[in-house]
Structure formats: structure tokens, C-alpha cells
Structure 1
Amino acid sequence: MSGFTLGIVILGGLLLALLVAWNAWTTRRNTPRQPEHSTIAPTQPMEPHERAEPVFEDEPPESVPLPLPVPPPERRPGLDALIDVIAPIALEAMVSGEAALAALPPTRRVGSKPFAIEGLNEASQHWEMPHAGQRYVAFQAGVQLANRTGALNEIEYSEFVMKVQAFADAVGGMPDIPEMREEVARARELDHFAGGHDAQLGLTLRARNAAWSPGYVHQSASRLGFVAGAIPGRLVLPASQPGTPPVLSLSFDTQAALAEDPTQAAIRELSLSVDVPQVPRAEQPFVRMCDVAVTLAAAMDGAITDDHGQVIRPEAMEVIAADLEKLYDTLDARDLSAGSPQARRLFS
């Protein structure tokens, strides 16, 4: 074999070796990162008091992952003149809890607004949702003035009046219904305030190189206290007070979370978010969100960006934090402090 031929053979071998190495590197780079252990015990969903449509009736506690204790059911706040239209219902005689329950309308909504009826318990002298075995000396009906769907309008108010009247007729009561024009105007003013002081903040964590598998994301987030939420692809950081909304949410592609082979599902970005009016200021949700983002970015080889993929600089976070403090002060001044029952109902 001539030297030239030998050189060609050697060069071909080198090229083949380089090609094999390049393919191996590409495969390794494109393979989603896996958790440190091949088997991870599934985490049961825990999402205390998920931000949903507010209701007034008592509800059973939601299930939580073992070995964590099951949190007690949250005591639902009663009607509040700050955010509700309230119509007193005077009675000719005391009414049993059974009769009141039978007279309740089939739905607890008026249009898109929560609706409730409370009774003044003869024994405790406290307003409460009607219960069997109790006796009531008066009732009051209420409908929420505004929520994130908008302000209470004239059509919804008319429906409210009809429901109140039907209940009052069934229990032998006389309702005192507020004047519609005033209450609708109050609803619009409250909705205007809420619209100008609502805030939902978010950060995006993007993979710099290798993608992440769902198991890798779960493992990395669980080290910071996150647990699985009720929706596939969503994890939450529980609040310090059981039965209240989570401090933070971390979400990724639902299809990746539901993949038949999660080890091959590739996740290239995560979303961290906080619903500001739902979380008390004392929880420091924005500070914690930034800390979580920085920690995960370092551990998972990710970059912190906004929704448009632009890298967020530390000074931008400082500006947001300062604006957030002003928002908290404004909500406090309106008796709608972030995380309060009233704020959580209004901003829902």
C-alpha cells in the first residue's frame, strides 16, 4: 500500500471517528437531563385553596401528599359590605336550618358573581351558612360587587333581586334590597380600582443547552420546597399558613408532563409566577420568586428571561420590587391587603 493510500485510509478513519464522536455528543446534548435516581416516588397533588371561583359554603379539606398532614378546611369569610351587596331579610318567626336549606337556590352564582345567603344563628348570634339542626332569627343575602370577570351589572342585579325574593317568600321573610343604581355604580368603582391594581408577575427560565425531563424538573424544584399541583405540569410552593393559596407556581408544558415516556419528554422552559393580590406581603413572594429563579438557573444551567426571551437584569428586578411595595401600600389603604379574604375574593 502506497503512502498516499495509507494517508487516505487514516484520514477516512479520523473523519469517521470524528463523526461518531459528534453524533454521540449531539445525542447526549439533545437528551433531556434526568433526575439523579432512576426511580422517583410520585408526589401527590397538593394545592391548598387553588385560586378558583370564591364560594361561601364550607368545603372539605383537599388531599395533600403524605407524609404531610392534611390541612384543616379554611374558614370561609362571610359577606362583607366592602365587596358585597347585602340585602337583609327580616323574619316573622324563627326558621329551621332544614327549611332554609330547602329554600336555597340551586346555584350559588348570579351571572359571573358569587351569591350567598347567611342566617343569624339563634344560639350563637353569629352569621353563618344555614346548617341542619340550627334555628335562625334573620337572614341576609349577598352578591359580590366585582371580580376579575368585571363589575356587577344591571342584568345580574335583577337576577340577584329575584333570587332574594324567592328565598324570602319561601321562609316567610321580608327583604330590604338596596337601590340598584347605587350598587351598580359602587360595583363599577370597585372594578375600576381592582383593574388598576391587579398584578400577576412572572419569570421564565430557559435551558441554555440540554433540555430537562419532567423528573429532573420535579427533583430540582422539590429541593426548594415545591410540590405537585392539581394540574399536570404545575408545581406550587405552599404558603406558611395551611389552607391559603400557594406563594409561587412553577409550570411547564402539560404534554411533556403527560408523556408516555417522561424520560424522553424535553422541556426547554419553565414559568415562575406569583398572583400578587392572592398572597400576603409577609410571604415576600416576589423576593422568593427571584431567589428560586436564580437558584434553579444555577443548578439547571438556565437563563432567566421575560416572556419575550430577553434576559432580565438584576436592576430591573429591583425596580419591580419597589413598584410592588407601592401596590401593597395602596391595597392596604383600601382595606384590601394582599392575601386578605376580601382581596382574594375580589381578585379571582
Structure 2
Amino acid sequence: MSKLQMGLILVGSLFVAGMLAFNWWQQRNYRRKTESLFERHDDVLLDDFKPAARPAERVEHEIVDFEEVEEAVEILPEPEIPAEPVAVHVKKEVPPVIQEKPAFVDAEIDYIAEMQTSDLIGAEEIADIFRKKFDFGKKLSVYGLNVDSVCWEEPHARPKYRNFKIALQLVDRSGVISLARLSEFRDLIVGVAAGMDAEAICPDINEAHARAVLLDKFCAEVDMLIGINVISKGEESFAGTKIRGLAEAAGFRLEADGTFKYFDDHGNHLFTLCNHEPAVFLPDGIRHLSTHGITLLLDVPRTATGKQAFDQMIVLARNFSNTLGGVIVDDKRQHLNDAGFDKIRKLLQDIRVKMETRQIAPGGERALRLFS
């Protein structure tokens, strides 16, 4: 080994020894400083522990300056105190309620076709349906499901619909729709849907027509008008002005069709007063009109309170008869007495039971459509 190598080893050994001595001296000074800082603090773990009463108010802790010991003491982070549980009110997203069908579409009396498309469209894209709305001889209704309100409505020009329901009424007072007309309607819907790349859903027209025929037959069985006639005696006649005065005093209202109509407090039409002869009661001509009779008419399937309305008719007929000097007769000009009135009341009750059994309430929405 050369002298140079031995000198380097000696210098390195002395340097290491010096560093060790310096570290020992530095650690000894740090220990003294630390012990002197903590001499004035009680050891709460070794001393007798006496629980203190809970302070009424929050006590602020003393702040200790650790600058003198920051090199000697490892500062540990304060333990995290678990926070009180906080109730978080999360607003749940309530999915919109989608109506299965429009309010004025009735699967019992309508043939309902559907169209579904992936694109938003407006009324203009289905204009062919509106143009042929009156070609089928029955009421036709078109509804679109608004994507914003999620409600069925009559379509507007603004494109906001992907689903449509088109309903064609099958039966009304004029009878049942023909199978040929129903076929034309089905073909119209299929064609319009194909033109805008939509899906058409059309029920079987033969099944729908067969069901409509049975419904029409039932409606014919219960479609009845009950009339009470007040006719003059002999060759005498009733003056139009006197009839109008009595009718309006009793609560009737002269309508544009030349008849007097009686309504309840809710605006529901109960019965009608009309001329027993062909002439009608027009506002301008009634002062010159005279007639040999008047008729009170009750539209049975369209009246919700059949028997009560009929009893009101009897009272009014008697008032008209007494005032005008007439007699009360039926359509065969036979005198009507209490026994005859009782038979009519029983007939009204029988019709009501039949209609309600078929879920067609007299005076209800379904009845008003079928008997229109």
C-alpha cells in the first residue's frame, strides 16, 4: 500500500470519528432542551385522574409555541375528530307519470291506431290525417305525447312528439261504422307512418268491427226519448208568446235550434220543451206563432238523473196544462195519469241498470259520445 493511500484512509477515519462525536454532542443538547421544556407540565397519564365537570361553554386550548423544539420533537398531526353526522336531504328524481292514453280516447268505443317514431315531429308531418278527418263519417281524434310535459295533447306545429294516438269512433246515434270505412282509416295510418319512417300499430279491423256491431245493437235497445205532451182542447191553440213566458219563468232557455232547454245548477241538460207541431220556436217568429200542443222530452241515455228529471217534467207539464188549459197525453194521445207515470219510472230504472251493467253510465262521458 502506498503512502498516499494510507494518508487518505487516515484522513477519512478522522473525519468519520469527528462526525460521530459532533452528532453525539448535538443529540445531548437537544435532550436537555426538551426535558427543560416539559418539566412544567403535569403528566395526565401518570397523575391521579379526576374527571372534571363538563364546562358550560367551550374552553379554548392553550397554544404552545414549538419553535424551540421543532428540531428535537417530531410534531404529530392532531387526531381528526369525527364530525357529527349531518342529515343530507337528497332530492330524488321522480320519473314523470306518462298517461297510458289521452283522456278522451276510449278503447270500448274507439278504434285506436298508434304511430311511433324516433324523430321529433309536429302536426305538419301528419297533415294527411287532418285533411281526411271528416271522410269517415265518425268522430276522429288525434293526440300526440308531448316530450316536454309528458302529457297527451292535440298536436301543434312545433315538433315535440314521438308518439301519436289516432282514435276513430266506431258507434254513434247514426249507427256503426262500415268495415270498408274502417279499412280506409287503417290504410291511411299505415301510409302516413311509412312516409315519415314511423311504426304504425293498428288493431285487427275485423275484430274491432265485430265488437262495434254488438255495441251498436245494445245502444239501440236503450236509446229512448220519453215525451209528455200537453195538447189543447178542441180547436183551441196556445199562443207562442204565452208559451215563451211560461217556459222562461220556469227556468227554460230558448236555444238557437228553436227549442227551450232546461239545465240543472251545474249546467247539465235535463230535458227539452219543443213544439208538438213541425214549426220551431224562433226568437223572431214566436210572437206570431200559435200551436195546438207542446212536448217535454227526456233524452234517457244522455241524462244522469233520469227519474228525478222525469218527476220535474211531470210537475212542469201539469203547470203548463193548468195555465194553458190543455190536457196531458202520451204519444198516442192517451191521457197520462199516475199509473202511466209509474210505468215510465220503472222503464227508466230498467234502462239505467242495463247501461250501468255495460259500464255506460247514463249522462256519462261514454254515453254522451255514443248517443250523439
Give your verdict on TM over 0.5: yes
**3-state DSSP class of the match of 1:87?**
strand
Whether 1:219 and 2:245 are equivalent positions in the alignment is yes
Does 1 or 2 have the higher relative contact order (CA < 8 Å, sep 6+)?
1
Whether 1:229 and 2:255 are equivalent positions in the alignment is yes
Deviations 1:12-55 (A, max 9, x none): xxxxxxxxxxxxxxxxxxxxxxxxxxxxxxxxxxxxxxxxxxxx
Unpaired segments ≥5 residues, structure 2? 1-101
Is residue 274–residue 280 contact of structure 2 (8 Å, CA) maintained in 1? no
- Corresponding residue for 1:72? none
- For 2:130 and 2:285, how far apart are their aligned partners in 1? 47
Residues 144 and 312 of structure 1, relative CA distance in 2, 3 Å threshold? same
Q: Pairwise CA RMSD of aligned residues?
A: 2.4
- For 2:306 and 2:110, how far apart are their aligned partners in 1? 26
- Corresponding residue for 1:12? none
Deviation at 1:343, TM superposition (A): 0.8
Whether 1:84 and 2:107 are equivalent positions in the alignment is no
Residues 221 and 182 of structure 1, relative CA distance in 2, 3 Å threshold? same
Whether 1:144 and 2:140 are equivalent positions in the alignment is no
Is residue 204–residue 271 contact of structure 1 (8 Å, CA) maintained in 2? yes
Is residue 110–residue 143 contact of structure 1 (8 Å, CA) maintained in 2? no
- For 1:261 and 1:152, how far apart are their aligned partners in 2? 39
Q: Give matches, 1:1-348, under 5 Å.
A: 78-100=104-126, 102-133=127-158, 135-208=160-233, 210-232=236-258, 234-242=259-267, 244=268, 246-252=269-275, 253=277, 255=279, 257=281, 262-281=286-305, 284-348=308-372
Unpaired segments ≥5 residues, structure 1? 1-75
Is residue 306–residue 348 contact of structure 2 (8 Å, CA) maintained in 1? no
**Alignment length (residue pairs):** 269
**3-state DSSP class of the match of 2:343?**
helix
- Taking structure 2 as the reference length, what is the TM-score of the superposition? 0.66
Residues 160 and 151 of structure 1, relative CA distance in 2, 3 Å threshold? same
- For 2:171 and 2:154, how far apart are their aligned partners in 1? 21
- For 1:145 and 1:261, how far apart are their aligned partners in 2? 40
Deviations 1:181-219 (A, max 9, x none): 211111111111111121111111112364222111110
Residues 327 and 226 of structure 1, relative CA distance in 2, 3 Å threshold? same
- For 1:140 and 1:260, how far apart are their aligned partners in 2? 46
Is residue 281–residue 328 contact of structure 1 (8 Å, CA) maintained in 2? no
Is residue 96–residue 133 contact of structure 1 (8 Å, CA) maintained in 2? yes
- Corresponding residue for 2:79? none
Return the index of the structure with the highest Cα Rg: 2
Percent of aligned pairs with the same amino acid: 25
Is residue 307–residue 349 contact of structure 2 (8 Å, CA) maintained in 1? no
- For 2:154 and 2:262, how far apart are their aligned partners in 1? 31
Residues 81 and 344 of structure 1, relative CA distance in 2, 3 Å threshold? same
Return structure 1 stretches of 4+ with deviation > 6 angstroms.
Answer: none
Deviations 1:226-258 (A, max 9, x none): 0111123x111124333x5x2111111464745
Residues 288 and 260 of structure 1, relative CA distance in 2, 3 Å threshold? closer
Deviations 1:63-107 (A, max 9, x none): xxxxxxxxxxxxx9511101111112111212124544x343324
- For 2:250 and 2:225, how far apart are their aligned partners in 1? 21
- Taking structure 1 as the reference length, what is the TM-score of the superposition? 0.71
